[in-house]
């Protein structure tokens, strides 16, 4: 009888050991898979948030880049308008095949200043030109100043160019 009890106990201990290992192994696998599902969700949400933040930053950078390009274009147009005003006034003061003349009064300059209404790219631009001169030791000196101003919607940009010249 002792022998049977021993065997019985041995069998029971194996059965008990097998039961315990199934429960531990079974719980561990369930716990791990449940925890992995939860952590995968957290990781997915984190990645979505990070990518959204990067996307928002990229959109902001592109927007400010486009704004910068628009200001550069307006500035270039204003510079070209101012340069045109200086060249126009210098051609008035230094006519071809003729001697240099004194600057006209400001009213005449304002009335004769060219407009850019028919010039592609400069339709929204205008110029303001001034010319002053003085004579010293038989040489006439000129200061021509032109300000080009371009507007697009509510944005306004201006550039000013000043040229010093003298007669020969």
pLDDT tens for each residue of the chain, 168 residues long: 444 444 444 444 444 444 444 444 445 555 555 556 567 788 888 999 999 999 888 888 877 777 778 888 999 999 999 999 999 999 999 998 888 888 999 999 999 889 888 888 899 999 999 999 999 998 999 999 999 999 988 889 999 999 999 988
159 and 84 Cβ atoms separated by less than 8 Å = no
pLDDT of residue 63: 73
pLDDT of residue 34: 56
86 and 113 Cβ atoms separated by less than 8 Å = no
DSSP per position, 144-162: EEEEEEEEETTEEEEEEEE
pLDDT of residue 41: 80
pLDDT of residue 157: 93
The contacts of residue 143 (CB under 8 Å, 6+ apart) are: 131, 132, 133, 162, 163, 164, 165
């Amino acid at each position: 009888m002792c022998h049977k009890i021993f065997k019985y106990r041995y069998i029971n201990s194996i059965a008990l050991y097998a039961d315990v290992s199934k429960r531990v192994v079974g719980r561990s696998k369930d716990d791990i898979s449940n925890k992995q599902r939860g952590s995968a969700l957290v990781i997915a949400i984190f990645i979505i948030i990070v990518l959204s933040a990067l996307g928002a930053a990229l959109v902001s950078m592109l927007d400010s880049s486009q704004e910068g390009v628009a200001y550069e274009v307006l500035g270039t147009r204003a510079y070209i308008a101012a340069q045109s005003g200086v060249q126009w006034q210098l051609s008035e003061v230094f006519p071809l095949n003729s001697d240099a003349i004194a600057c006209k009064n400001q009213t005449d300059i304002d009335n004769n200043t060219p407009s850019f209404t028919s010039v592609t790219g400069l339709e929204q631009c205008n110029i303001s030109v001034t010319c002053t001169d003085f004579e010293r030791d038989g040489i006439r000196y000129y200061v021509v100043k032109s300000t080009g101003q371009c507007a697009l919607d509510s944005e306004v940009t201006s550039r000013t160019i000043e040229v010093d010249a003298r007669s020969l």
